[in-house]
Amino acid sequence: MTVATRDERYIKEPTEPRALRIERLSVWYGVHQAIREVSFTIPARRITALIGPSGCGKSTLLRALNRMHDLTPEARVEGSVWWGEIDLYAPSTDPVWVRRHIGMIFQKPNPFPKSIFDNVAFGLRVNGYRGDIAARVEEALRKAALWDEVKDKLQKNALTLSGGQQQRLCIARAIALGPQILLMDEPCSALDPIATMRIEDLMRELAHTYTIVIVTHNMQQASRVSHYTAFLLADEDGTGELIEYAATRELFLRPRDRRTEDYITGRIG
């Protein structure tokens, strides 16, 4: 087994229809380069996991996929993310429009301090949903496997829910907008195993309709839920690079780069 040089990487692109094509994507925070020239393709209606040790840039990469870095003044993004014919980083692309179609679930559940109903209805209202908002809220909560637990207390403050319920509420309010892609940044790291299992079941269910990209520290989780896995690693300057990308079974059973094998067998990271 060898270490790939910078030019030839162990990147095996999926054969399925593509959801996102990431082209030579680099992100800087001030003078520090967080990721360097990452290129790969995320398949549609599949779960793609981003794994790697802390500081390898996997969250940075995820946040670049719906222009969250626009909110960080010192962050700078170069390269392209193609969604169909649209480059998310073209000057003519409106980040507000991007984020409605590419939703995000954060590490720590972050429901608004409002009622459960309003948490889901907010995105629908600001985006001018023409249909019946109450019906759509119910459908989204059902889809997120939360409806039975909250149907009698929709007007209660969302912060009264447990952590796992809060995270499913965040998923419900994201999918209510009918996004094509869901980005999840370690969505289970603050949850107990049972809540984690429920979220994973939900992800499998949602993957029939949505493209999911998940950042996870938990390699069992990556191997359990994802179809494709990208392994990132930071070089000595702390700049993350894509080391290997393949179908999850292949990457975990027959890693081709020595560093991938070291990481998934627990020798580094």
Interface residue list for other proteins (CB under 8 A): 94, 96-97, 100, 126-131, 139-140, 143, 175, 177-178, 208-209
How many CB atoms lie under 10 A from the CB of residue 97? 13
CB of 127 to other proteins, least distance (A): 5
- Taking residue 24's Cβ as centre, other Cβ atoms within 10 Å add up to 11
| Pick 53 or 55: Cβ nearer other proteins | 55
User: In whole angstroms, how close is the CB of 192 to other proteins at the nearest point?
Assistant: 19
Pair 246, 14: CB distance under 8 Å:
no
Cα-Cα-Cα-Cα dihedral sign, residues 239, 87, 59, 255: negative
Could you tell me the smallest distance in angstroms from the CB atom of residue 260 to other proteins? 34
Residue pair 26/57 in contact (Cβ under 8 Å)? The answer is no
- Contacting residues for 186 by C-beta, under 8 A, at least 6 apart: 59, 107, 215, 216, 217
What are the backbone angles phi and psi of residue 76, rounded to the nearest 5°? Answer: -135, 135
Contact 44, 19 (CB under 8 A): yes
Q: Which is nearer to other proteins, 1 or 159 (CB)?
A: 159
With respect to other proteins, which residue has the nearer C-beta, 6 or 208? 208
- Closer residue to other proteins in complex, CB, 122/129: 129
The DSSP code for 229 is E
Based on CB atoms, which residue is closest to other proteins, 44 or 247? 44
d(CA 24, CA 35): 10
Cβ proximity of 180 and 101 under 8 Å: yes
Q: How far is the CB of 188 from other proteins (least distance, A)?
A: 21
The sign of the dihedral angle between the CA atoms of 21, 188, 204, 133 is: negative
Q: At its nearest, how many Å lie between other proteins and the CB of residue 176?
A: 9
In which element (H, E) is residue 3 found? none
Task: Closer to other proteins by CB, 52 or 103: give it.
Answer: 103
Q: 70 vs 139, which CB is nearer to other proteins?
A: 139
